[in-house]
Amino acid sequence: DAGVTQSPTHLIKTRGQHVTLRCSPISGHKSVSWYQQVLGQGPQFIFQYYEKEERGRGNFPDRFSARQFPNYSSELNVNALLLGDSALYLCASTPLGGYNEQFFGPGTRLTVL
Amino acid sequence: RKEVEQDPGPFNVPEGATVAFNCTYSNSASQSFFWYRQDCRKEPKLLMSVYSSGNEDGRFTAQLNRASQYISLLIRDSKLSDSATYLCVVTPGNNAGNMLTFGGGTRLMVKP
């Protein structure tokens, strides 16, 4: 079975641009979460979606938004990029929206110049 | 104060050594506890869940002390392949779904 997939693998943007990151969960998983991992730190929770509805939101500015599609894939959008947005963006999927193991994708490495 | 705190290390140990990592968390209502392993430039992977009664998986033993809000991971007979960053993770006790709160990670380097 395929694991969580994310695209693109790497991305370079300049300040002020916007970016869209994509995630496909494991087949049969209905919940997707997004995390930001800055170099040298642990991942930080951004959003969780379950059955296309937002279930949780971390302490991130409104420049960050996300959505989940009927096929349970998800997009993370970041507007007006700042240098500090440079990070590894991780997507994780779980079968349900509750307390289950989360399976992480390989991440998208975003560099903002 | 960070919600989950870990000693960043690095812990440099020889093969065969026993090494222990500790972690403290600030939210007394936290529900679930985990150790994740993250190799360099890779995604985190679940190593083991942590239960109040303590649990063991081969060379790895995890303990939870809810009264002290303290989690530990013990690795016996360290292997070169154990070199990685170990992330302490908790989930909140409120209705916040499956949000994982990560510590900053403890880096382990096992030397020949």
Tell me which residue has tokens 């060379």: B59
Question: What length is written for chain A?
Answer: 113
- Which residues in chain A are contacts of B31 at CB distance < 8 A? 99
State the Cα–Cα distance between residues A32 and A51, nearest whole angstrom.
9
Write out pLDDT tens, residues A86-101. Answer: 999 999 998 775 556 7
Sign of torsion over alpha carbons B71, A106, A29, A49: positive
Residues 30-49 of B with CB under 8 A from A: 31-32, 42-46
pLDDT of residue B94: 59
State the Cα–Cα distance between residues A33 and A30, nearest whole angstrom.
10
Most B-contacting residue of A102, A103, A110 (CB-CB within 10 A), to test interface = A102
Mean pLDDT (chain A) is 93
DSSP lists the bridge partners of residue B93 as: none
Write out pLDDT tens, residues B6-48. Answer: 999 999 999 999 999 999 999 888 888 999 999 998 999 999 9
What distance lies between CA B102 and its chain's CA centroid? 9
